[in-house]
Homo-oligomer: A and B are copies of this chain.
Amino acid sequence: MTPSRPYKETPSYTATQNACKLCTPLGASLVFQGIEGCVPLLHGSQGCSTYMRRYLISHFKEPVDIASSNFTEETAVFGGGANLKLAIENVARQYAPSMIGIATTCLSETIGDDVRLILNSMDNSINGTALVHVSTPSYSGTHVDGFHGAVAAVVDRFNPADKRIVYRPKKKKTINLFPGMLSNEDLRHLKDIFEDFHTPVTILPDYSERLEGPSWQEYQAIQKGGTTLSAIEKMNVSVHSMEFGAVLALAAEKGQATAGGILNKRFGVSCTRLPIPIGVKATDRFLDILSQISRRPVPERYKKEKWRVVDTYVDGNKYVSKKRALIYGEEDFVVSMAGFLAEVGIIPVLCASGGKSKTFKAALEQTLPENLIDQVIIQNDMDFTCMEETAAAMPEALRPELIIGNSKGYAMARRLKIPMVRVGFPIHDRVGGSRILHVGYKGAQQLFDTIVNAILTEKQTESRIGYSYM
């Protein structure tokens, strides 16, 4: 049943048609939302911040405030320094934030504003509000680069090399976790896991409360929740860092500065890089490492969850075996999701991303079993139009039967008439996008149930008969 090598030619165009990526500052803004008391400020036009707010709101269904330095034509000519300062002052006054996270846009980057210099001139703070800058020109990289860049910038800012390590308590073995771009439910679940391991953790960023809070009695300028600055400042005394993301790991190997890397280099905090723990095997790996570092056994609850999900895999094996899927999204997400699919017997025949790392293919080759790689088309820097054309051009026996990714693939799925399972970011056409659980055994359980049920729904609906048993 090994199908012959699939159709590998993918169309190529100069223009991007329905992009499968977002611009760099969005990722940074999301990170800033995950820090307690932090307000993101985009140094650029008003539109950037409004568009990104709108985009994030449609996913999280929560207020997402992002300030703008609001360039004018004069700013563009004479430089944005004055505007930036004014913006910082106004944000500080109106929000009284703990921190302002400043991300530069293509505009300010191109006119060459030296934000670092400007902030230095302000002592990197204003009335006790810390100012942190991340360079995010949208013409280089994608939102994922902005995300990782912001995490690194924050860690860098609050853990300077000359910082004196005041204390290193032996008992509180805090672990740093840099989870990458996960859902609120993922973050909540990870916090539960660390709690059940009785191991303190500092997760950066953690927008799970801020971007999924309660209704309010009184309006809150800045929603509650997020990683505290004091926790971030103590990251250098943690016993270990964990960084999720197979592609990020390869980038770090090649010298990219990551948060975990900075802490390792400056303070010798050891760092494990591992794929996002999606699926049983990847979760096994995550919990094994956690168990080793925390010197705690895996709690009974997770053992139960694991064997329950394995049992579920078994129950559903025949529905998914040899099914062909198209997955897309952020590169790290696609890699881990492909690993999960392979683990349950689904062939990820087309793995696509708008990302531009050079290690996407390598990461997938590390993740997927050898006998599958031949059946998989791997493509980054890909837009939805090329994805659709590639899928449509595949011979019928090799064409995807299932589409797995964020809601932006809906139009494609609709035209291709292939059922779609919504995961990842963003989910704009359903509620609860931020409550999708991907990680851990429980995440594997939910993904598996959802995927099997999508297949069963399609089968039942398309059947002339529509049986009530499956």
Q: Could you say which of B315, B431, B449, B456 contacts A453, with CB atoms under 8 Å apart?
A: B431
Contacting B at CB under 8 A, from A305-329, are: 306-308, 310-312, 314-316, 319
- A167 CB within 8 Å of chain B: no
A291 in the interface (beta carbon within 8 A): no
**In whole angstroms, what is the CA distance A410 to B466 when docked?**
8
Categorize the interface residue count of chain A: 35 or more
Query: Is A432 a contact partner of B449 (Cβ separation < 8 A)?
Result: yes
The residue that A312 contacts in the complex, of B407, B429, B431, with Cβ under 8 A, is B431
Task: Point out the residue from B312, B411, B432 that lies within 8 Å of A466, measured CB to CB.
Answer: B411
A127 within 8 A of partner (CB): no
Residues of B within 8 A of A449 (CB): 431-432, 435
Given A304-B214, A435-B449, A460-B410, is A428 in contact with B311 using a C-beta cutoff of 8 Å?
no
Given A212-B308, A308-B212, A460-B410, A452:B431 Cβ within 8 A: yes
Q: In the complex, what distance in Å separates the CA atom of A314 from the CA atom of B215?
A: 8
What are the 9 tightest A-B residue pairs by CB atom distance, in nearest-first order? A214-B307, A432-B449, A61-B315, A215-B311, A429-B470, A431-B452, A430-B453, A410-B468, A428-B469
Given contacts A429-B470, A430-B452, 19 further A-B contacts (CB under 8 A): A58-B469, A213-B307, A214-B307, A214-B310, A215-B314, A312-B431, A315-B431, A408-B468, A410-B466, A410-B468, A411-B466, A411-B468, A414-B466, A428-B469, A428-B470, A429-B460, A429-B468, A429-B469, A431-B453
Question: What are 16 contact pairs spanning A and B, CB under 8 A?
Answer: A214-B304, A214-B306, A214-B308, A215-B307, A215-B310, A215-B311, A312-B431, A312-B432, A315-B431, A410-B468, A411-B468, A429-B468, A429-B469, A431-B449, A431-B470, A432-B453
